[in-house]
Structure 1
Amino acid sequence: MGKEFKVKRKWKFCCAVTAILIIVIAVVLVTLAFTLFKPKDPKIIPQSVTLEGFRLVVFPSITGNLSLELAVTVDNRNYGGFDYDNSTAYINYRGNLVAEAPIGKDTIRPRSKHNVSASVIIFADRLAADGNFLNDFFAGVFNFTSSTRLQGKVNVFNIFKLKASSSSSCNITVFIQNQTADSVCTSKIRL
């Protein structure tokens, strides 16, 4: 009887230690999931918006183009890398689509910064279709918005691979007289 009691006691002790260990591991994993591994929105830092060229002929018809070079740095503050597929940046003028810029697939490493650039050519006839074009032209300022959505996968420690999408939007102001441009961007990530 004494031997059976010791075996049962050891068995109960082993089960209790295992249960406590499982609870501690579960608490640690839940805590990490809501703190350290919680996805954070990437910071998009505009590096430069360069007006590469501006050519406009108003008479007899409006023709020409506006060439922009967009460069941003994506600061991935997450502990997982982001592999994104080919995508497109859309440029709008007063709500109307005026240009598209392809963005090639790439990887943003965990806790690092990544430079992304794209060249955009906006044709004047698309701008002129808007009734406010001449007012903006004579004021010397064009305001554009760009939107980009990157689809891909987040890879955390080569263990967890989750589908994710990151979207960003930028307000771009082009000053015609001194041929410069400024931009302000925001971004979001969804798992």
Structure 2
Amino acid sequence: MNGIRTTKKGLKICSGITALFHVSLLVALIVLCLTVLRPKEPKITAQNIILKEVKWQKTPKFSVNISMEITITVHNPNQGSFKYMNSPAYVSYGGKVVAKSLILEDEIPSRGKQNLSTTVEIDGDGLRPVARFSGDLLRGCFNFTSSATFVGKVSFLKLFRIKATGFSSCGVSVLLRTHRASSSGCISEVNF
């Protein structure tokens, strides 16, 4: 009879220690997820904007066509890598999309940097309907907005995969007289 009480008492102690261990492990995982593994916004900076070509056409109707290569650097501060699919990139002028390009699928490593490049062809016929076109042409400066949406998965420790969508938008100024382009900065956000 005394042996049965000892066995029950031992089971209660063992069950209590096991439950305490599981609660401690759960608390540690929650703290880890809320601190170290908490997703952080990537830092996106425009690196090189190379104006490849500016074509002027005076007859039969005036037009200007612009070809440029845009390179941005994405710094991923997270513990997980981000693998994204082929993603569209757009260039807008006065709120109207005037060029579209494709950024090929790739992976940005955890706590790493990746350069993303694309070439865009801006057709002058798309610029002319914008109200400020004539004034910008006289000043010799066009201000564009380049934007891209990246859809993919974030991978933590090669065990957990979470769907994520990243968005970036950069301002781009093109100076026609000097054939130069520059960036006025980028903003980015990620939704999980």
Deviation per residue, 1:5-36 (Å, 9 max, x gap): 22122111111111111111111111111111
Moved more, 52-61 or 94-103: 52-61
Name the counterpart of 2:43: 43
Matches within 5 A, 1:154-173: 154-173=154-173
Cα distance between partner residues in 2 of 1:45 and 1:131: 30
SS of residue paired to 1:3: helix
Give how far 1:2 is off.
Answer: 2.3
Matched with 2:63 is 63
Aligned counterparts of 1:109 and 1:87: Cα–Cα separation in 2:
18
Instruction: For residue 25 of structure 2, give the secondary structure of its aligned residue in structure 1.
Output: helix
Structure 2 alignment gaps of length 5 or more: none
Matches of 2:64 and 2:144, distance apart in 1: 17
- Matched residues, percent identical? 37
Q: Secondary structure at the match of 2:10?
A: helix
Counterpart code for 1:6: T
SS of the residue corresponding to residue 38 of structure 1 reads: coil
Cα displacement (A) at 1:59:
4.1
Query: 1: distance between equivalents of 2:54 and 2:124?
Result: 10
User: Which residue identity does 2:28 align to in structure 1?
Assistant: V
Q: What is the alpha-carbon distance in structure 2 between the residues aligned to residue 58 and residue 42 of structure 1?
A: 44
Instruction: Give 1:38 shift.
Output: 1.0
Kindly report the root-mean-square deviation, in angstroms, between the aligned alpha carbons of the 2 structures: 1.2
Q: 2:8 corresponds to which residue?
A: 8
Q: 1:102-130 CA distances to partner (integer Å, 9 max, x unpaired)?
A: 11111111111111000011011111122
Q: Give unpaired runs (5+ residues) of structure 1.
A: none
Q: Which secondary structure state, in structure 1, belongs to the residue aligned with residue 41 of structure 2?
A: coil
How many aligned residue pairs are there? 191
Q: Which residue in 2 is equivalent to 1:28? A: 28
